Amino acid sequence: MKPTPAQIRSLSRRDPTLGKAIRKLGPFPGFPENFHRRTPTFAYLARAIIFQQLAYAAANTIWLRATSLKGESGKTSASEIASLSDAKLRGAGLSRAKLAALRDLSQKVMSGELKLGGLSRLEDEEVIHRLVAVRGIGPWTAKMFLIFKLGRLDVLPSTDLGVQEGLRQLDGLRERPNPKELELRAECWKPLQSVASWYLWRRLDSPEGDW
C-alpha cells in the first residue's frame, strides 16, 4: 500500500521535524516491496524465524542452506519442512530453538490452526495475536510481517532499535527513547506510523554528514 501525496503532506505538517527528513529522503516507495510481495507467506515467516537475532550474513547462509534441502515437495512450505529430518535441518545450521520454532510453524499451518491465507483480512491486533502463538515469533516479528508483507501503513514497531535510534537522531536526544516514549512521540504520526518508521530507518542509512 502507498499513502497519497496529500497524506504525506499532512504527516509532514503534523511533525515538521520529520517533514524535513521526508523532503530530504524523497518519496516513500510503498509496502510491500517486490521481494516481500513475491515471497510466499510461509517462506516469509520461516525466513523471519531464521533471521532473528543473527547477523544478516550468517542468517542468510543458513537460510540458503535450508532452502536448498529437498524433501517431498521441493518447495519451502509447511509440508516440506515436515518432511525433512531434524538432522538435515540442523546440518544447515539451525539451532535447536530455531528448529523447534520451524516445526511449530509447520505444524500449526498444516493443522489449520494458523490459516495463512486469511491473515490479510484480519485487523492488525488479531494478526499479531495469531502469529505470536507460534513458537519463536514475537510481537516485533509480527509487526514486521504487518508492515513489510501485508503493507499495513499504521504499525509502530516501538521496540525496534533502529526506529528508536532514528528518532533519537531526528530529535537530537542524548539517549534513545524507550518504547513508551516512542509511542507517545508517535501519536502525531497516525495513521501513517509505518511510513514514519520507514523514514527513520532510511535516515539511519544516510551518511551522518548529510544531516
pLDDT one digit per residue (tens) for the chain, 211 residues: 899 999 999 999 999 999 999 999 999 998 887 777 889 999 999 999 999 988 899 999 999 999 888 655 557 899 999 999 999 999 999 999 999 999 999 999 999 999 999 999 999 999 999 999 999 999 999 999 999 999 999 999 999 999 999 999 999 999 999 999 999 999 999 999 999 999 999 999 876 656 6
Supply the pTM of this predicted model.
0.91
Distance CA 197, CA 162 (A): 9
CATH class of 5-31+155-210: mainly alpha
CATH class of 34-149: mainly alpha
Q: Where are the domains of the chain?
A: 5-31+155-210, 34-149
Which grid coordinates belong to 167?
Answer: 528518532
In the prediction, which pLDDT does 71 show?
A: 59
Distance CA 194, CA 153 (A): 5
